[in-house]
Structure 1
Amino acid sequence: MPSPRLNLAAKLLGAVAAVGLAGPALAQNGAAQPPVRHVIFVGVDGMSPDGINNADTPVMDQMIAEGGSTMHARSVLPTSSSPNWASMLTGVDPSQHGVTSNDWRVGDFTIPASVTGSGNFFPSIFQILHDQHPEWEVGSIYDWDGFGNLYDHRFVDLDVDADGHAETAAHAADYIRTKRPQFLFVHLDQADHAGHADGHGTPEYYAAVESADAEIGLIRQAIEQAGIAEETVIIVSSDHGGVGKGHGGESLAELEIPWIAAGAGVARGRELEMPISTYDLPATVAWLLGIERPYAWIGRPVRAALASEELPKQTYKVSSFYAPPVISPLAQGNDPAGGLFVEDRAELTIANPNPLGEVRYTLDGTNPTATSPLYQGPVAITQSTIVRSALYIDGTQASMPTTGYFRVLEPSDEPRGLSWNAYLLPEDPVRLPVFDELEPVASGVTHEVSLSELDLPRDNAIAVTFDGFIDIPATGTYDFYLASDDGSKLYIDGKTVVDNDGDHGVIMKAGSAQLEAGRHAFRAEWFNGGGGAWVGAWFQGPGIVRQFLDPNLLSPR
């Protein structure tokens, strides 16, 4: 399985050589002077590095070949749209600008902005440009209407909530040709829409990324037609990635985003091996245009994108520079590698997606070291096992560790699993229902707190209960973990141990219980309002490292 980094390298080799847009970044006499006169930013909602690596994206491939880029920039938490678009406008994270969810509205918030510009908004790049250069042409054109909640519209000359991505791109191209704006923020939404409707990593998702790529091409063409290519930088990035049909969680697939710059003065083919965040965008725009950045911004300009600048000296390498080993059976959406084996034989295989190094692994849940077993071929798994592996180069760990959870159901004369019931909910629920007021519409037995064995009547506006018993092997304190999209709760002996309720992406909550050895009543509840759907439960205790609930300890009512 090729790594995203190797896919990117292959694309670079195959990219069509084009006339560079590079121009002088600084005056010959060294005087402080804006490197460029125009910056066009195109943000593609929900576009992950995987989307670029696996879709046909000739325009972005060409920008990568001509410019500076990374597939390892990061969004902010939560990996939801509004918090990240707000960070791209304000140069700070949610703890400063206060936008913590897509429900945020100015004047109706939990966390006030740490500093305020106009109208209770954190000062945005739009306001900074207007305050320092009110004569400049500045525009905002967006496909998702929620983007319009995040800034004071008085500071843009053109403000368009377009009807669809094609209209968004057409407006942007026309605006560039006619007005030649100093700064334009363009938001395209088709990749996020496909991710929610069909799933990230699906053919439909890749087709949406290809559509965005073509529209970025129209915008680049408009820059040429406007006669400003020699003094313009175009930046392409995203707000988040995704897993399955959702985002908002804390996985690397949701957190990592592409960041690509091309144009006047930009270094050709430079891989930006440095930490870059969504909140670095406004600082970069301000620096390129010669604008004074407010002290309140925490973002820093990505100066190394320009040929006139050197890559910063870094004592510590970016953690995702080398791709981690790939454990099979592969992860599927939010389901981690490994899986549940009820009757099938379990076998572990590990692949190294890098052209160098060796794979070390463990089977006891500990992180591998340089002296851990060297992977040399398939390994039979006969009991529930936690596999961890990492890439080692010259005896030093060179990748993040990767984990697989193998849950093997052992032969038993006793029934195993949990009884489940499904319930239909009113449209767009935001919390778990009162189940005593509902009648189940489907039921059965599953071997763990998961959706994989459930035959649900629909995907959205639905809730499930999991009931049974858990056999606690030894007296002591046990920690339970519940991860879900949307909300969930876990009960032991009728008492709430984990409360992860609410409308959100896959996030994990934990709780503890002091339990005697023996059988205890177990219950988990889950609901999904819309979009992504997932639930999983872990535990740890005396002599037990954190792992998925062992299906051998569960029995139905």
Structure 2
Amino acid sequence: MNQVESKEIRRAIIIGWDGAGSFVEQAETPVLDRWMARGGATLGAQTVFPTISAECWGSLLHGVTPEKHGLNNDKAAVEKYPGDSPYPSLFRVAHEAYPERKLAAFTCWKPIMEGIIEEGIGVHKVSMPDPELALAVADYIRSNPDVYVLFVQFDLPDCAGHQYGYGEPDYLRAISETDRMTGVIMQAVEDAGMLEDSLIVMTTDHGGGGVNPKGHGTDHPLDKTVFWTCSGPGIAAGSAVPEGLGLIDTSAVVCRALGLPIPGQWEARVPEGLFGEA
């Protein structure tokens, strides 16, 4: 990958579409298509096993496999993630490096807030249904252009997959609606003048329909294959994501972009060449 001119990255924004897998290729997603073209993108990244929300979001945020972070949906719903875990979240890494900087998480699925993201590390947390969530994130961005790390989780695709079946027309329409809501957020990013110095990551935790048409959790390719894209200073537009990148690497990529230390106990890594290095 060729070296590209790089500005300083001042913030990272991660937008996750729960349960979208790689089905975005079959849906109308003009917003995602635009952002995939702006940076590095793939429809063939791999998530972790088992392909279940807590395990997958936990691996994205904590940089280790489910065997190490120990999360599952039942546990995340009733237990707070330990603040002294040897596997800190991206938020904890950012807070420990720069305790004064703004961190925020907006999710539809509430267990992420306490069961996956630690308490007491200054994260502004909001949980509400997807349509209201998109507007709340947009308002927050316009009021807080100095946010340092922002994580957003939409739930609509996974809900539709469980109800109608992954890959079915109503499911694909839910992906398209999530794309529209993502556009509300990205318009706010542009309005706030944050576009040119932000790392933008868009991805999903898992797919579905591999074994059970209305379920997920297996290592079937339909469950395990996900889209992943990031754009921002130092990442060439239209570039291919280096082979081998997985969902688990997301937090390491963000740390690299922000100049944060990547915890040695993380299994997450930064794929060679992602930021234009020779």
Judged with a 3 Å threshold, the aligned counterparts in structure 2 of structure 1 residues 296 and 199 are, in CA distance, closer, same or farther, namely same
Partner residue of 1:284? 253
Q: Percent of pairs identical after alignment?
A: 33
Provide the C-alpha distance between the structure 1 equivalents of 2:237 and 2:62, rounded to a whole number of angstroms. Answer: 28
Provide the C-alpha distance between the structure 1 equivalents of 2:64 and 2:216, rounded to a whole number of angstroms. Answer: 21
Amino acid at match of 1:72: G
Tell me which protein shows more strand as a share of its residues.
1
Provide the C-alpha distance between the structure 2 equivalents of 1:265 and 1:217, rounded to a whole number of angstroms. Answer: 23
State how 1:94-105 maps to structure 2 within 5 Å.
94-99=66-71, 101-105=72-76
| Unaligned runs of at least 5 residues, structure 1 | 1-22, 27-34, 110-115, 311-557
Provide the C-alpha distance between the structure 2 equivalents of 1:37 and 1:24, rounded to a whole number of angstroms. Answer: 16
Judged with a 3 Å threshold, the aligned counterparts in structure 2 of structure 1 residues 276 and 140 are, in CA distance, closer, same or farther, namely same
Query: How many residue pairs were aligned?
Result: 270
Partner residue of 1:48? 21
C-alpha contact 1:106 1:120 (8 A) present in aligned 2? no
Provide the C-alpha distance between the structure 1 equivalents of 2:197 and 2:102, rounded to a whole number of angstroms. Answer: 15
Q: Alpha-carbon deviation of 1:305?
A: 3.4
Query: Structure 2 residue aligned with 1:298, among 262, 267, 275?
Result: 267
Provide the C-alpha distance between the structure 2 equivalents of 1:37 and 1:258, rounded to a whole number of angstroms. Answer: 24
Partner residue of 1:156? 122
Query: Structure 2 residue aligned with 1:217, among 180, 183, 186?
Result: 183
Secondary structure in 2 matching 1:147: helix
Partner residue of 2:173? 207
Partner residue of 2:277? 309
TM-score (norm: length of structure 1):
0.47
Query: Structure 2 residue aligned with 1:39, among 4, 8, 12?
Result: 12
Provide the C-alpha distance between the structure 2 equivalents of 1:121 and 1:168, rounded to a whole number of angstroms. Answer: 31
State how 1:21-36 maps to structure 2 within 5 Å.
24-25=5-6, 35-36=8-9
C-alpha contact 1:237 1:258 (8 A) present in aligned 2? yes
Structure label with greater radius of gyration: 1
Judged with a 3 Å threshold, the aligned counterparts in structure 2 of structure 1 residues 108 and 140 are, in CA distance, closer, same or farther, namely closer
Q: Alpha-carbon deviation of 1:151?
A: 1.9
Judged with a 3 Å threshold, the aligned counterparts in structure 2 of structure 1 residues 262 and 139 are, in CA distance, closer, same or farther, namely same
C-alpha contact 2:11 2:199 (8 A) present in aligned 1? yes
Identify which of structures 1 and 2 has the higher relative contact order when contacts are C-alpha pairs closer than 8 Å and 6+ apart: 2
Partner residue of 2:137? 172
Please provide the CA RMSD for this pair: 2.0
C-alpha contact 2:64 2:87 (8 A) present in aligned 1? no
Query: Structure 2 residue aligned with 1:65, among 18, 37, 57?
Result: 37
TM-score (norm: length of structure 2):
0.91
Q: Alpha-carbon deviation of 1:253?
A: 0.5
Amino acid at match of 1:98: G
- State the 4+ residue runs in structure 1 displaced beyond 6 angstroms: 106-109
Is the counterpart of residue 137 in structure 1 residue 109 in structure 2?
no
Q: Alpha-carbon deviation of 1:155?
A: 1.7
**CA displacement, residues 235-288 of structure 1 (integer Å, 9 cap, x when unaligned):** 100110000100011201000000011233321111224111221011111110
Query: Structure 2 residue aligned with 1:255, among 216, 219, 224?
Result: 224
**CA displacement, residues 17-69 of structure 1 (integer Å, 9 cap, x when unaligned):** xxxxxx8426xxxxxxxx4111100011001212x111111111111222110
C-alpha contact 1:284 1:303 (8 A) present in aligned 2? no
Provide the C-alpha distance between the structure 2 equivalents of 1:53 and 1:303, rounded to a whole number of angstroms. Answer: 26
State how 1:114-513 maps to structure 2 within 5 Å.
118=83, 120=85, 122-148=87-113, 149-162=115-128, 164-180=129-145, 181-243=147-209, 244-302=213-271, 304-306=273-275, 308-310=276-278
Provide the C-alpha distance between the structure 2 equivalents of 1:157 and 1:240, rounded to a whole number of angstroms. Answer: 25
Provide the C-alpha distance between the structure 2 equivalents of 1:154 and 1:68, rounded to a whole number of angstroms. Answer: 34
Provide the C-alpha distance between the structure 2 equivalents of 1:190 and 1:289, rounded to a whole number of angstroms. Answer: 30
Provide the C-alpha distance between the structure 2 equivalents of 1:93 and 1:309, rounded to a whole number of angstroms. Answer: 27
